[in-house]
Amino acid sequence: MQIADNLVVTLHYTVKTAEGEAIDSSIDKEPISFIQGTKYMIAGLEDELYGKEKGNTFEVTIAPDKAYGERHDQLVQQVPVSMFEGMDVEVGMSFRATTDEGEQSVTIIDKDDEHVTVDGNHPLSGLTLVFDVSVEDIREATAEELEHGHVHGPGGCGHTH
């Protein structure tokens, strides 16, 4: 069976920067499972999976535009520390912020006595990523999985929709 839309794909992966810096891996953990074509994975990796079969291993380099996008300087803003009154904020913290465009995830990248600098870019934006992938399994998705848009475990999905 070849990977196509609406099939459940189970894989192991290791991802690193183009310079070789390790970012994440499923090795020594459970492999991940998802429904192909639901945009669960970044576009570049999902595109590379089409046509692969169980047992295939491959490496793929994915440019930022097919991963987490380019960095945008306008998403880095310095705001008054008074906006965080009552909160103990530290560099590296992430949270949801209300913006003119709606809710957005931001990370605190700097802080001084007067200002907090927040970054609305995804932490991996602007990076070329290199994935090592091993396709562990491929199967038909159940009607319920397709309806819910995600893979269910042996006992169902474990939550209500």
pLDDT in tens, 9-44: 999 999 999 999 999 999 999 999 999 999 999 999
Phi then psi for residue 74, to 5 deg, are -70, -10
- Report the C-alpha gap between 147 and 76 in whole angstroms: 38
The domain 73-119 is classified under which CATH number: 2.60.40.10, 3.40.1380.20, 2.40.10.330, 3.40.50.620? 2.40.10.330
Residue 6 contacts residue 39 (beta carbons within 8 Å) = no
pLDDT in tens, 84-125: 888 888 999 998 877 777 788 899 999 999 999 999 999 999
The pTM of the full predicted model, rounded to 2 decimals, is 0.82
The domain 7-68+125-148 is classified under which CATH number: 3.40.630.30, 3.10.50.40, 2.60.34.10, 3.30.590.20? 3.10.50.40
